[in-house]
Amino acid sequence: MDSEKEKSPPLIPPLGETGFGPELQSAFEAWLAYKEEKRQAYKPTGLKSLVGSIRKNAERYGEQEVADLIRECMASNWQGIIFDRLARTKGTAPKNSRDAVKTAADYDGGDDFV
């Protein structure tokens, strides 16, 4: 009997099930493979949530933008897909949003620091 645990293949919902176009599906599958390589594979509940987040952002920003973001996150070796970057690149993120990244210009007054 082999003492090593058998690896199960990563869960990858097929194209028709996700509702993604071919380009976005390709980026999505690459993301799942990337996470598997990092030993951070998705469980069914997390995968369902990921598909919903990707779908929502694709409807808002377009499939190509989301596919490009997914590939950027992999290239940067990030652990997650930073969907907030889509809002910032489109200029739709509120300036004082709790999640917005502050720049040096945001701190010019100096009152923000105690």
pLDDT tens for each residue of 37-76: 999 999 999 999 999 999 999 999 999 999 999 999 999 9
Confidence tier at 16 by pLDDT (50, 70, 90): low
Q: Where are the domains of the chain?
A: 16-90
User: Is residue 108's pLDDT more than 80?
Assistant: no
CA distances 41 to 2, 10, 15, 53, 74, Å, are 23, 7, 19, 17, 14
Q: Please report which residue ranges of the chain form alpha helices under DSSP H.
A: 15-18, 22-37, 44-61, 63-75, 84-90
Percent of the chain with pLDDT over 70: 64
Q: What angle do CA 41, 84, 13 make, to 5 degrees?
A: 35
Q: Which of 23, 104, 12, 87 is nearest to 50 (CA)?
A: 12
Residues 6+ apart with CB under 8 A from 5: none
Measure the CA–CA gap between 24 and 18, rounded to whole angstroms: 10
